[in-house]
A = this chain, B = another copy of it.
Amino acid sequence: MLTYSFENRGKESLYTWLYRCMKDDILSGKLVSGEKLPSKRSFARQLGVSTLTVENAYALLQTEGYVSSLPKKGYYVADIQPAFHRSQPGAVSAPDSVAVSFGQPEEQQFFADFSSNQTRKENFPFSVWTKLIRRVMTEQGENLLKNSPGGGILPLREAIAEQLREFRDMQVSPEQIIVGAGTEYLYGLLIQLLGFDSVYAVENPGYQKIWKIYQAHGVACRYIDLDRSGMQPELLKVSGANVIHISPSHHFPTGITMPISRRHELLAWAGEEEERYIIEDDYDSEFRLSGKPVPTLQSIDQNGRVIYINTFTKSLASTIRISYMVLPASLLARYRERLDFYSCTVSNFEQYTLAAFIREGHYEKHINRMRNNCRKKRNLLLDAIARSPLSALVSISEQDAGLHFLMHVNTKLTDEELTKRAAEKGIRLTGLSYYFHGGEGQSRSAHTFVINYSNIDENRIEEAVERLYQALHFSVDEVALPC
């Protein structure tokens, strides 16, 4: 007989507790598909709760598809498939981390996750941020409740403009800056601005989320292959695209920095016809570890065809959603005409806090600290690999820019097999092939992994490398012949 104890439910309501117990039993297979559930009234009597409690629990289970009801027959356990596989934003789930519950995945805990873009607690400036929020709450009072202009509050836009002038050599007026809740939101806004009839060219390989956003908006998207300098102009020209979306400072995931000659080529392409635009995604340029940064396309553009985008989600925290774009004059006028009615998607409270954080020099200090931290981690990791027998199996590239490098594994095994073996040792890897659209690039890029080290615990680096070696330590016939 089906029964549950309500003893350990703590503060949870009776019906959600019951719902959760039953859901667990359905997912674990204790309650099997097709099984008839007791009637609400009898079940309630037996459990010592009200009929309404059972009714609410059944209703929830039904809403979520765990049970189904037949008129005049009663409730039955539904046929459950673990269909809803969720992944972390910006990361790939290991093949075995299938979510068992809707919306709240039970992620596998990895010893070291080389896929994650999350900020580590010790890297977030908690005490300064808390102090500033408090001050903003006291000092700004009424201003916090005044509707922000659609593009963001002026003090934040001024701070960003100053920042761009100082660190990216860009002459931008605050009025050109549009602040929004993450670059994903801004991409959507740009599609509305540049039109649903535009054809968008993206980098292949590239950041999959960008592709998905264009797809979700139903616009035409062309996947343009890269050479060593980035997006290839010849392929671009025959693609029919009029907007390109690129990350010239540091391409993800290959790490390519677009040389100045290619930048001018692309700018020239944009200048050739009306309505050609370049979206310049500068998502992690703050983290460049060595060398002089190449000037942004925005700063050398003569024709007003570049939209510059950057974000604080990488440099501050992925969970504080603040990004911005810089519109050229022509698009600014169009934005005002068509999209200015939108409310800014970032809360005033966080806009004022970030403005103070930048203006008072905390942001600069924070970035320097983060950059040193990243450099240190990268060096520790590269050093550990060099000292490990793993070094005989892999080769490293693109280690100078940003938050990740590439690791090529000298093997015949598939990426799927390698990822699985690593996961078994508690290491999460993402193959470069994941970032390719279509087959050829995927096979060319096999055996190469994107090693995101910014989120790794320093103290685990040594052991992570050892585990990686254990995972990738193949039998001789699995090793690829030198080519």
A residues near B (Cβ < 8 Å) are 13, 19, 56, 59-60, 63-65, 83-84, 86-90, 101-105, 117-121, 124, 126, 129-130, 133-134, 137, 141-142, 144-151, 154, 157, 162, 165, 171-176, 181-182, 184-185, 188, 192, 195-196, 208-209, 212-213, 216-218, 317-322, 328-329, 332-333, 336, 338-350
**A345 nearest CB neighbor, chain B only:** B181
A126 CA to B120 CA, complexed, in Å: 30
Q: Is the interface of A mostly helix, strand, loop or mixed?
A: loop
| A142-B121, A185-B345 known; A192 vs B216 contact (CB < 8 Å) | yes
How far is B59's CA from A103's CA once the two chains are assembled, in angstroms? Answer: 49
Residue of B nearest to A193 (CB): B216
Contact B130 A175, beta carbon cutoff 8 Å: no
Copies in the complex: 2
Q: Are A145 and B181 closer than 8 Å at their CB atoms?
A: no
Contacts of A332 in B (CB 8 A): 102
Known contacts A181-B321, A209-B341, A343-B321; decide if A171 and B63 are in contact (CB<8 Å). yes
Q: Complex: how many Å from CA A417 to CA B349?
A: 39
A182's contact among B101, B174, B343, by CB below 8 Å, is which?
A: B343
Chain B min CB distance to A441 (Å): 21
Residue of B13, B137, B188 near A130 (CB, 8 A) is B137
Contact present for B320 and A349 (CB under 8 Å)? yes
A171 to chain B: closest residue by CB: B59
Select the residue from A84, A118, A124, A347 with max chain B CB neighbours within 10 A. A347
- 19 CB < 8 A contacts A-B: A19-B173, A56-B165, A56-B171, A63-B172, A63-B173, A64-B175, A86-B149, A86-B150, A86-B340, A126-B137, A133-B133, A134-B134, A144-B319, A181-B321, A182-B345, A195-B218, A212-B341, A319-B347, A319-B349
Say which residue of B84, B121, B148, B195 sits within 8 Å of A145 (CB atoms). B121
Closest Cβ of chain B: how far from A58's Cβ, in Å? Answer: 10
Is the beta-carbon distance between A148 and B209 smaller than 8 angstroms?
A: no
In whole angstroms, how far apart are the Cα atoms of A348 and B181 in the complex?
A: 12
Distance to closest chain B CB from A258 (angstroms): 24
How far apart are A207's CB and chain B's nearest CB, in angstroms?
A: 11
The 7 A-B residue pairs with the shortest CB-CB distance, nearest first, are: A319-B348, A103-B175, A181-B345, A102-B175, A89-B343, A181-B181, A196-B218
Contact of A104 among B142, B149, B328, B333 (CB under 8 A): B149
Interface centre among A129, A318, A342 (most CB of B within 10 A): A342
Alpha-carbon gap, A20 to B388, bound state (A): 60
Q: Are A89 and B154 in contact (CB under 8 A)?
A: no
A184 and B89 in contact (CB under 8 A), knowing A145-B118, A329-B64? Answer: no
Residues of B within 8 A of A171 (CB): 56, 59-60, 63
Give the docked Cα–Cα distance between A184 and B101 (Å).
Answer: 29
Other 9 A-B pairs with CB < 8 A, given A129-B137, A133-B137: A84-B340, A89-B342, A121-B141, A134-B134, A184-B342, A212-B341, A213-B342, A320-B347, A349-B350
- Alpha-carbon distance between A212 and B318 when the two chains are bound, in angstroms: 30
Please, how many angstroms separate the alpha-carbon atoms of A107 and B141 in the complex?
19
CB of A235 to closest CB in B, whole Å = 26
A159: min CB distance to chain B, Å: 12
CB-CB under 8 A from A89, the residues of chain B are 147, 150, 341-343
A192-B217, A347-B347 given; A185·B181 CB < 8 A: yes
Cα A312 to Cα B218 in complex, Å, equals: 30
CA distance A89 to B339 in the complex (A): 11
> Provided the pairs A173-B64, A182-B345, A212-B341 are in contact, do residues A147 and B118 lie with their beta carbons within 8 angstroms?
yes
Q: In whole angstroms, what is the CA distance A209 to B162 when docked?
A: 33
Compute how far the CA of A90 lies from the CA of B343 in the bound complex, rounded to whole angstroms.
Answer: 9
Q: B329, A347: Cβ atoms under 8 Å?
A: no
Residue from A19, A65, A192, A341 whose CB has the most chain B CB atoms within 10 Å: A341
> Closest Cβ of chain B: how far from A247's Cβ, in Å?
18
| Measured CA separation A124–B144 after assembly (Å) | 10
Q: For A175, give its contact among B104, B117, B120 (CB under 8 Å).
A: B104
Give A101 to B157 CA distance when docked, in angstroms: 15
Find A319's partner among B130, B141, B148, B208 (CB 8 Å cutoff).
B148
Alpha-carbon distance A117/B145, docked complex (angstroms): 10
Partner of A350, one of B318, B333, B343, B350: B350
Instruction: Give, as a whole number of angstroms, the nearest-CB distance from A177 to chain B.
Output: 9
